[in-house]
Amino acid sequence: MANDSVERVHVLIIGSGPAGYTAAIYAARANMKPVLYQGIQPGGQLTITTEVENYPGYPEGIQGPEMMVHFEKQAARMGADIRYGLATKVDFSQQPYKVWIDEEKLIEADSVIISTGASAKWLGLPSEERLNGYGVSACAVCDGFFFKGKEVAIVGAGDTAAEEALYLSKLCTTVHMIVRRDKMRASKVMQDRVTSTPNIKVYWNSETDEILGEKKVEAVRIKNTGTNEKTEIPVSAFFVAIGHQPNSDIFKEYITMDETGYIQTIPGTSKTNVEGVFAAGDVQDKTYRQAVTAAGSGCMAALDAERYLSAKGIA
């Protein structure tokens, strides 16, 4: 489809995790006729999560992909127009805002909700990919509970890694923390907490060589960067805490972000520096990064968009 078929919409939602789908539910109920493009990973990070036990309303827990199907169905039932497609370019210099889908279809939108999420950074080991969901995880708060009373490993050296190691230390017998250098990047207070927690064992100057196990994580093999000596540590889970990358590149020219690419919103709102453009979920939240907080911010974005369009006399 070429550019000559320009489509005009009131609310364009970019991304389809808990934030995007919740925004779609609220926007559709407000009769704003939202159009949502699902992006490269329909359902977002939850589609690579197995059991979700900490989302309210699911007393037995639920599989991440199934939960996202529920979100999508609910948004569709409310009247949201949900489509496959990836936003590849934007122009927020004037209204209506222009968004290109798959480099060819052009949408003109009176308001835009960005809910493109963030992607966990991985080490890049084939075993890490193979065992993802079978003991390998990028979220200790999401998955730590399943390894209660067991030994686990975590790799990372920043505040998030320290925080997740401390969280795991309350659930697991031993937390083996793998740190690449001879010191951590984490703040002094977090480092002190880690080093004074008796069941966190820190391996300095160490890299992950391989995650071992056929069908589930059984051990991790680490290599000392100074001596090249390899050590196998029996563990039931391997947590990767080396950071997240917000999926915000295409908005850089127009939207204010922090140094790592997280979109900055006006505190207490979903508003960005561009009037009529809102951000929700993990693309603007580097602190909590939970499904429930993403959904909450999706609700905020839809309500903010509704008030904005109403004030403009558009919807």
Q: Does one domain contain both 47 and 59? A: yes
Q: Does one domain contain both 189 and 288? A: no
Under 8 Å between Cβ of 249 and 235:
no
Q: Does one domain contain both 285 and 186? A: no
For residue 89, give the nearest of 71, 105, 77 by alpha carbon. Answer: 105
Q: Does one domain contain both 204 and 250? A: no
How large is the angle between the packed helices 18-29 and 64-78, nearest 10 degrees?
Answer: 20
139 catalytic residue (yes or no): yes
What amino acid occupies position 19? A
Q: Does one domain contain both 21 and 59? A: yes
249 catalytic residue (yes or no): no
Look-up of token digits 């989302």: 55
Q: Does one domain contain both 128 and 203? A: yes
Q: At CA 27, angle to CA 25 and CA 31, rounded to 5?
A: 110
Residue 305 lies in a domain: yes
Residue 278 lies in a domain: yes
Q: What residues contact 259, with CB distance under 8 A and at least 6 apart?
A: none
**Residue 296: C-alpha distances to residues 132, 257, 284, 302 (Å):** 27, 21, 13, 10
142 catalytic residue (yes or no): yes
Chain-centre distance for alpha carbon 252: 18
Q: Does one domain contain both 71 and 168? A: no
Say which CATH number the domain at 229 has: 3.50.50.60
Chain-centre distance for alpha carbon 285: 9
Tell which of 222, 240, 258 closes a domain: 240
Residue 2 lies in a domain: no
Residue 193 lies in a domain: yes
Tell which of 225, 240, 255 closes a domain: 240
Query: Which of the following is catalytic: 81, 91, 139, 159?
Result: 139
Residue-by-residue pLDDT tens, the chain, 315 positions: 444 579 999 999 999 999 999 999 999 999 999 999 999 888 888 877 667 888 999 999 998 899 999 999 999 999 999 999 999 999 999 999 999 999 999 999 999 999 999 998 999 999 999 999 999 999 898 899 999 999 999 999 998 899 999 999 999 999 999 999 999 999 999 999 999 999 999 999 999 999 999 999 999 999 999 999 999 999 999 999 998 899 999 999 999 999 999 999 999 999 999 999 999 999 999 988 899 999 999 999 999 999 999 999 986
Q: Does one domain contain both 130 and 162? A: yes
For residue 178, give the nearest of 165, 197, 167, 168 by alpha carbon. Answer: 165
Under 8 Å between Cβ of 240 and 120:
yes
Residue 275 lies in a domain: yes
What pLDDT shows up at residue 315? 66
What amino acid occupies position 305? A
Residue 1 lies in a domain: no
Under 8 Å between Cβ of 52 and 67:
yes
Residue 231 lies in a domain: yes
User: pTM for the complete prediction?
Assistant: 0.83
Tell which of 240, 263, 288 closes a domain: 240
**Residue 190: C-alpha distances to residues 184, 206, 220 (Å):** 10, 20, 24
Q: Does one domain contain both 181 and 212? A: yes
| Domain of residue 141, residue span | 122-240
Q: How many domains does the chain have?
A: 2
In this structure, what are the phi and psi dihedrals at residue 286, rounded to the nearest 5 degrees? -100, 0
